[in-house]
Amino acid sequence: MPPFKKILIANRGEIACRIMRTTKRLGIATVAVYSEADADARHVREADEAIAIGPAPSAQSYLDVRKIVAACRTSGAQAVHPGYGFLSENPALPRALAKAGITFIGPDPAAMAAMGDKIAAKRIAVKAGVPTVPGELGVIKDAKAAIAVARRIKYPVMLKAAAGGGGKGMRIATSDAELIEAFQRASGEAKTAFGDARLFLEKFIEEPRHIEIQVLGDRRGNVVHLFERECSIQRRHQKVIEEAPSPFLDAKTRARMGAAAVALAKAAKYSSAGTVEFIVDKKRNFYFLEMNTRLQVEHPVTELVTGLDLVELMIRIAAGEKLPFTQKDLKLAGSAIEARVYAEDPRHGFLPSAGRLVRYAEPVGDGVRVDGGVYEGAEIPIFYDPMIAKVAAHATRRDAAATRLAQALDGFVVIGIAHNVDFLAAILRSPRFRAGKLSTDFVAHEFPAGFDGTKPDRAESELAALAAAAAQTLATPGSAPQSLCVMIGRDDYPVVARRLADGVSLTRNRRQQILRTEWQPGQPAMHIQLGKSAATFRIERRGLFWRLARGGASFEAMVVPCYATALLRRLKPKPPPARSRHLLSPMPGLLVSIAIDAGQEVKAGEPLAVVEAMKMENVLRAERDGRIARIVAKPGDSLAVDQLILEFE
């Protein structure tokens, strides 16, 4: 018999869909809740039943405890799984559910309140003998108080939201001036994301690693750890790639960190799944950061290396069952790496993206797992976290898992919105990542000027040229040999191509090669076999061009008869329209504030406006000195991409 007959999932997106996979396997009926923006969402479609809970803003839907409880009563759900984010770390939800006689699939609200509050958690850690980062254990009431603490413990410092995580409400400051602005931004984000603007401050440890321990406790006092996850690759304090185990820890440090995490959980009388986060310096000294009293986004890598289902264990613990194993029963098996696919544009400062998924295809393959929450044709709304899916790969060795994940990303098709797939692939192929030399400044160090794609070597460009020639041949009626010239940038690749039953014959520099592929025109991914090597390209036709992408690099390939190349080189590219006088919204979002007035003089780099999208505040700054001619938009306006906000003289 399953522990419950019906469970309501108080969440959306990929985590709601992932929870449903386990509940369906256990024979438990599922209830989805949804806002007006999510009426056609994937989690709504996959649930056994679904209940509308209000308008698109999360404060009026997913964050409304009363509506969640009411949905349980309407549906007859016996228990609620909160997923992560939203109400997952808010004690008000389990307390309200308990009053209604409904089981909360998570920790006791007292433990959640103690450990979910970062300040209270640090105090418990100190009492439990767990090392902590130097800082202020109380709430920082304003920027002036923050400056006083920062001067005492010395810059750089980090502000953090007391009520949540996930990179929201976090800012680093290296001076008083930076701290004043950081306090305003961090408190605003914390209020938006968690309904709680409280902040605390601690010393920022330079060149750190972010390593966390997964813990699991039942309601009888038994607690174990499920080893560690390395989460050092981050952008704006948001994890990007995670893996288990860490390539940095030795067995002794792993055991010490695990024991510290278990001691902390026991001190808090913690049950269910939780994560104890540590910051680790280059000498393997570790310091407690915070505890997340919920299921983590990156839990799949732990499941892959332990063979456990954390969602099932959470459900069984909530039903009163005892942990079915002890610490000595748990073993690590192989290596797993996960990449988070976001709706954001790495080539334009990682600005959030929203819109319709015109094409969408998740990768498949041995050892590859995808936790997705969307489908082809779905809308990515501006109101919620920009995550599209998580892709994880498991193998016996770390290098094999990294290669497997990189290949999977090459075949991940997302068309219609901007996304970070190329950025993720570039990280996985970087020598520093392959060597396991990770730290939380990895992205800033590897991409100091931002990300604009990786530069392919000659061999990669030639491979892309052959793939483009094959695509052109397969897309052209007839089987006679064609003399083609592939133009990529300023380089030409003359090829004689002929269609075969299972691919294309390609002759270049008097050398014939057989490119095997099952690709057909219109398919968004092209897997090729060329001799002993294999590769996958995301491929799309754009007029005269084929656009191919692989390994973080993009190729614009024009395939034409060779006599046409000289003529084409005479064409001069059309310059982009001048927009230096206009401040346009770089993303769909809500205009939170305007920092200047019409007629005001501004300097380059000065803040002009703040646009909120996908739970993050984005500061738009002046690109040059000038005077404001007029302000077109007003705070509270919903902005579209490229909508005019203000004009310069």
Residue 574 per-residue DSSP state = P
Co-location of 112 and 250 in the same domain: yes
Angle at CA of residue 441, ends 438 and 444, nearest 5°: 120
Copy the structure tokens of residue 63.
Answer: 């964050």
Is 290 a known active-site residue? yes
446 assigned to some structural domain? no
Task: Tell me the C-alpha to C-alpha distance, in Å, between residue 412 and each of 424, 511, 538, 605.
Answer: 11, 32, 7, 36
Domains held by the chain: number: 6
List average pLDDT for each run of 10 residues in the chain, which is 649 residues long. 95 98 98 97 98 96 98 98 96 98 97 87 92 85 95 92 80 95 92 88 88 97 98 91 97 97 96 96 91 96 98 98 97 98 92 91 96 96 92 98 97 95 96 95 92 91 96 89 91 93 93 95 95 93 91 93 77 65 87 93 92 82 91 92 91
Residue 358 per-residue DSSP state = S
**Cβ distance 438 to 233 under 8 Å?**
yes
Write out the H or E segment, with its range, that includes residue 345. strand 344-345
Residue 627 per-residue DSSP state = E
Copy the structure tokens of residue 326.
Answer: 């002890």
Task: Report the CATH number at residue 145.
Answer: 3.30.1490.20
Confidence at residue 305, expressed as pLDDT on a 0 to 100 scale: 98
Out of 332, 359, 378, pick the residue that ends a domain.
332
Confidence at residue 567, expressed as pLDDT on a 0 to 100 scale: 73
At residue 108, the 3 state secondary structure works out as coil
Co-location of 126 and 257 in the same domain: yes
Residue 314 gets the label, from left (phi > 0), alpha (psi -120 to 50) or beta, of alpha
187 assigned to some structural domain? yes
How far is the C-alpha of 49 from the C-alpha of 518, rounded, in Å?
39
Burial classification of residue 263, based on how many CB atoms lie within 10 Å of its CB (0-12 exposed, 13-18 middle, 19 or more buried): middle
Instruction: From 464, 473, 478, 485, select the one nearest 559 (Cα to Cα).
Output: 485
Confidence at residue 479, expressed as pLDDT on a 0 to 100 scale: 76
Residue 197 per-residue DSSP state = -
Which of 14, 136, 189, 290 is the catalytic position? 290
508 assigned to some structural domain? yes
Ranges of H-type helices in 370-525: 398-410, 421-429, 431-434, 442-446, 458-474
Burial classification of residue 62, based on how many CB atoms lie within 10 Å of its CB (0-12 exposed, 13-18 middle, 19 or more buried): buried
**Cβ distance 227 to 242 under 8 Å?**
no
Task: Report the CATH number at residue 544.
Answer: 3.30.700.30
Co-location of 339 and 324 in the same domain: no
442 assigned to some structural domain? no
Co-location of 116 and 256 in the same domain: yes
How far is the C-alpha of 13 from the C-alpha of 373, rounded, in Å?
4
Out of 149, 179, 203, pick the residue that ends a domain.
203
Task: Report the CATH number at residue 623.
Answer: 2.40.50.100
* Domain assignment of residue 622, given as a range: 582-648
Instruction: From 648, 583, 574, select the one nearest 618 (Cα to Cα).
Output: 583
Out of 332, 362, 392, pick the residue that ends a domain.
332
Co-location of 349 and 313 in the same domain: no
176 assigned to some structural domain? yes
Name the residue with tokens 């590859």: 368
Co-location of 257 and 318 in the same domain: yes
Confidence at residue 39, expressed as pLDDT on a 0 to 100 scale: 97
Write out the H or E segment, with its range, that includes residue 312. helix 310-318
Helix 109-116 vs helix 118-127: crossing angle, to nearest 10: 90
Co-location of 565 and 601 in the same domain: no
- Cβ-based neighbour number of residue 558 at 10 Å: 17
Quickly list DSSP for 263-314: HHHHHTT--EEEEEEEEE-TT--EEEEEEE-S--TTHHHHHHHH---HHHHH
618 assigned to some structural domain? yes
Task: Report the CATH number at residue 365.
Answer: 3.30.470.20
- Whole-model pTM over 0.95: no
Co-location of 317 and 374 in the same domain: no
Residue 503 Cα to chain centre, angstroms: 36
286 assigned to some structural domain? yes
Co-location of 123 and 251 in the same domain: yes
Task: Report the CATH number at residue 72.
Answer: 3.40.50.20
Co-location of 468 and 343 in the same domain: no
Residue 558 per-residue DSSP state = E
Calculated CA dihedral for residues 308, 311, 313, 317, nearest 10 degrees: 170
Confidence at residue 230, expressed as pLDDT on a 0 to 100 scale: 98
273 assigned to some structural domain? yes
Co-location of 313 and 253 in the same domain: yes
**Cβ distance 240 to 233 under 8 Å?**
yes
Co-location of 113 and 246 in the same domain: yes
Confidence at residue 423, expressed as pLDDT on a 0 to 100 scale: 97
